[in-house]
Structure 1
Amino acid sequence: MLQQLIDYAVYLVVRVAIAFVQALPIGVCERIAGGMATLFTTVLPVRRKVLRENLKIALPTLTEAEQQRLAWGMWRHLFLMIMEIAHTPRRVHRTNWRELVDVPQNEAIIRTMCTTRPSVVISGHYGNFELGGYLLGMFGFPTHTVARTLDNRHIDRFVNDFRGRTGQYILPKQGSSEQIEQLLSSGGALTLLGDQAGGNRGCWVPFFGRPASTHKAVALFSLSFEAPTIVVGVRRKQRMLQYEIEVADVVDPADRDFAHAGVQPMTEWYTGCLERIILSDPEQYWWIHRRWKGEIPEKIRRRLERRGKLAA
């Protein structure tokens, strides 16, 4: 009973905070995000060790000052992302999205999504990935995505109400395999994050030159159902709520010249795509995300070294 009261109190605080943010002009939100970034970069050591370790792996040539600037930019991006989620339902509509979002490779997205076949959309913890599914639904492409159920059921319901506002349906991370199979069998669209740690039983592939365990299911969904698969990023441009949807690459497992048959090559393909997207604006990646988890099995390391896939 006590935990239920605490959860509801936290939910009320979150709703009040969101209402406050929604009342603020965009310029004020940007200044607040910058101030919070300074606080988290210089005063509060929130996940600072993880951040520095990740930057050392992915961008080893950065100086101390460059690391500090990138960390500040990342925190600013994260706080802007939260504020954008609060503002999106009121500011982004079917009548004005073209003023806010550029889709230079719209033909690739349309070809992938406008089909009776199943499709898979892969992104990562980059840009405003929460906005990606929201926008696809607004474009008329309903999708299903897999997300962990939050411990606070009130906040979980609130977040999923936002996600589903335009036609993005949420499947629980645990126990949704049968639903996903039914979805893809019926020609539906599945959106997934491709940079989640897959544990010791995952598929180990190089990510910025260091082996990272990745969930095998992402590749298996594409391969098992011969689903056209597209890798995208939703990158913020100069101002808050101004975005560009980047397309890194598209493949079709049903093509005769398909070059990524098998879980390992397919996972390496989309991981490489995510790398390129991240490098286009490293400040918009979640460097506090623990991507490189666990001990690399020695046989995996030796195999990748023989193939020249690891950084020196």
Structure 2
Amino acid sequence: MSKKKIQNPKSSGLFRDSGKWAVILLLKAIARLPFGCLYFLSDVLYLIIKDLVKYRSEVITDNLIHAFPEKSASEILQLRNKFYRYFCDVSLESIKLYRLSEKELKKRVTFVGTETLNQLAEKRNGAILLAFHYNNWEWSGALQQQLNCKLLMVYNKMRDNEPMDDFLQKAREKWGGEAVKMGRAAKVTFRYFEQQKPVVLGLIADQSALASSPLWAVFMNREAAFFPGPVKIAQKTNQPVFFQHAKRLGRGKYEYSYSLLVEEPAQTDEREILLRYIEKMEEVIKSNPEYYLWSHKRWKHKRPQGTALIQ
């Protein structure tokens, strides 16, 4: 009769943690690479995920087919491959952020529209900034250097991977902004608001919300749920809502522009605020579709019966 091998939970946990820290050491080594080497690595990675791994190929293709029903199969394939190339670049650029110097930043990143953002944030005791998964959203944390107040960057904490979460937060906060967990965003914002300390609350607001969300709208030809939090915070504080457009100027070069989306949220219907945001996202995505995060399972939920669709 064979004996079952009993695994020590402490030793297995230690092994998993050691593996996580080994990955962090690798990421820190990659972050030290000069941009020329970084993009050579990206080119190699592109061939691997396109031809060998075929990373989330079905998800990407399905998302593109629904978003652009007028495109042929060959056009969809071309878009998917362009997305893969962009995805490899932006993934490694996000790692590079950990060691990105201020000198390199100034050569590669420009900001447009920050004057209006600063003026209204000071005048109205803060502002809400709605961004989305388009181009290099991670580098936009450098906006803090252009602001006259604190930038709060809302993020989803990584589950069961503390080393990786710590690595990402250090990279995001290196320019002086404060990373805030999604569940604490409203509480932290209201605390600053009550103390009359202006902050710019930055949210990647195209995250996939739960099916139980009351806000459902058509986004890129498909019904999608949206988190009500950003709209609720804007209406409660009546802080102006801005939209971030990350434009790619070249490999590793970006222009971040900020335009006013809603000046008086308290006097604007929540559905109107959301629809304006969606309209701006679609306008940007359609101009250069390959730069959106199509591998994200954005449309995985179905709208529950009885939940109205915002139109």
The answer to whether 1:219 aligns with 2:231 is yes
**TM-score, length basis structure 2:** 0.85
Written as runs of structure 1 = structure 2, the 5 A alignment for 1:240-279 is 240=252, 242-247=253-258, 249-253=260-264, 261-279=268-286
Count of residues paired in the alignment: 297
Task: State the SS of the aligned residue for 1:237.
Answer: strand
Aligned partner of 1:123 in structure 2 is: 131
Residue 4 of structure 1 deviates from its aligned partner by 4.2
Aligned partner of 2:3 in structure 1 is: none
The answer to whether 1:14 aligns with 2:26 is no
Aligned partner of 1:239 in structure 2 is: 251
What is the distance in 1 between the residues matched to 2:75 and 2:115? 37
The answer to whether 1:194 aligns with 2:201 is no
Per mean C-alpha deviation after superposition, the further-off stretch among 146-155 and 242-251 is: 242-251
Residue 286 of structure 1 deviates from its aligned partner by 0.6
Aligned partner of 1:155 in structure 2 is: 164
Aligned partner of 2:4 in structure 1 is: none
CA shift in 2, pair 1:254/1:42, >3 Å? closer
What is the distance in 2 between the residues matched to 1:248 and 1:298? 36
- Give the conservation status (yes or no) of the 8 Å contact 1:11–1:155: yes
CA shift in 2, pair 1:107/1:9, >3 Å? same
What is the distance in 2 between the residues matched to 1:144 and 1:3? 37
Task: State the SS of the aligned residue for 1:103.
Answer: strand
Aligned partner letter, 1:277:
V
What is the distance in 2 between the residues matched to 1:113 and 1:99? 27
Per mean C-alpha deviation after superposition, the further-off stretch among 34-43 and 227-236 is: 34-43
Residue 239 of structure 1 deviates from its aligned partner by 1.6
- Decide which of 39, 59, 62 is 1:30's aligned counterpart: 39
CA RMSD after TM alignment:
2.5
The answer to whether 1:69 aligns with 2:69 is no
**1:102-122 Cα shifts (integer Å, max 9, x gaps):** 324343333344445121111
Residue 234 of structure 1 deviates from its aligned partner by 2.2
Task: State the SS of the aligned residue for 2:138.
Answer: helix
The answer to whether 1:230 aligns with 2:242 is yes
What is the distance in 2 between the residues matched to 1:121 and 1:77? 24
Aligned partner letter, 1:117:
N
Identity of paired residues, percent?
Answer: 20
- Decide which of 101, 107, 112 is 2:109's aligned counterpart: 101
Task: State the SS of the aligned residue for 2:299.
Answer: coil
**1:213-243 Cα shifts (integer Å, max 9, x gaps):** 1011111111111011111032332122x11
Task: State the SS of the aligned residue for 2:250.
Answer: coil
Per mean C-alpha deviation after superposition, the further-off stretch among 208-217 and 179-188 is: 179-188
CA shift in 2, pair 1:300/1:36, >3 Å? same
Structure 2 residue runs of 5 or longer lacking an equivalent are 1-9
Structure 1 residue runs of 5 or longer lacking an equivalent are none
Aligned partner of 2:5 in structure 1 is: none
**1:108-166 Cα shifts (integer Å, max 9, x gaps):** 33334444512111111111111112x11222442112222212112212211111111
- Decide which of 139, 152, 155 is 2:146's aligned counterpart: 139
What is the distance in 2 between the residues matched to 1:3 and 1:233? 44
What is the distance in 1 between the residues matched to 2:281 and 2:136? 14
Residue 3 of structure 1 deviates from its aligned partner by 5.4
Aligned partner letter, 2:170:
D
**TM-score, length basis structure 1:** 0.85
Residue 179 of structure 1 deviates from its aligned partner by 2.4
- Give the conservation status (yes or no) of the 8 Å contact 1:206–1:268: no
Task: State the SS of the aligned residue for 1:65.
Answer: helix
What is the distance in 2 between the residues matched to 1:144 and 1:247? 16
Aligned partner of 1:40 in structure 2 is: 49
Residue 35 of structure 1 deviates from its aligned partner by 2.6
What is the distance in 1 between the residues matched to 2:28 and 2:125? 41
CA shift in 2, pair 1:230/1:59, >3 Å? same
Per mean C-alpha deviation after superposition, the further-off stretch among 10-19 and 210-219 is: 10-19
Aligned partner letter, 2:220:
F
The answer to whether 1:79 aligns with 2:88 is yes
Aligned partner letter, 1:293:
K
What is the distance in 1 between the residues matched to 2:134 and 2:58? 20
- Give the conservation status (yes or no) of the 8 Å contact 1:196–1:291: yes
Q: Which has the larger radius of gyration?
A: 2
